[in-house]
Amino acid sequence: MKKSSKNWLLPLVAIALAIGGAFATNLNTNDNMLSTGYATVHMPCDTPVDCSTVPGLACKAPSGQIAYGKINPNDGFCPVILYRK
């Protein structure tokens, strides 16, 4: 009787660990990766644009200028490279 319980218990434990591991490694959400970029239209960093921190294509304003992020929201310059969301 004990041998038959071992036969189904080990695969069940392996499946439970696999499911738990899949959820544990998928903790990043899009909310954590969104960032506000700023494009220079009339003055430096004057036009806010929704961007992402996930590497990809450069984030651009609707008018075509590349948008960059600020280190501090009160800064007047935008040195941080951001990407399209």
Mean pLDDT confidence for 30-38: 78
* 40 pLDDT above the threshold of 80: yes
Does a structural domain hold residue 5?
no
Q: Which residues contact 53 (CB under 8 A, 6 or more apart)?
A: 33, 34, 35, 82, 83
Does a structural domain hold residue 14?
no
Domain, as residue range, for 57: 31-81
Does a structural domain hold residue 72?
yes
Domain count of the fold of the chain: 1
Does a structural domain hold residue 9?
no
Q: What is the pLDDT of residues 41-64, one digit of tens each?
A: 888 999 999 999 999 999 999 989
By the 10 Å C-beta count (0-12 exposed, 13-18 middle, 19+ buried), 39 is classed as buried
Does a structural domain hold residue 11?
no
* 2 pLDDT above the threshold of 60: no
Q: Is 85 helix (H, G, I), strand (E, B) or coil?
A: coil
Label residue 12 by pLDDT band (50, 70, 90): confident
pTM: 0.60
By the 10 Å C-beta count (0-12 exposed, 13-18 middle, 19+ buried), 52 is classed as middle
Does a structural domain hold residue 55?
yes
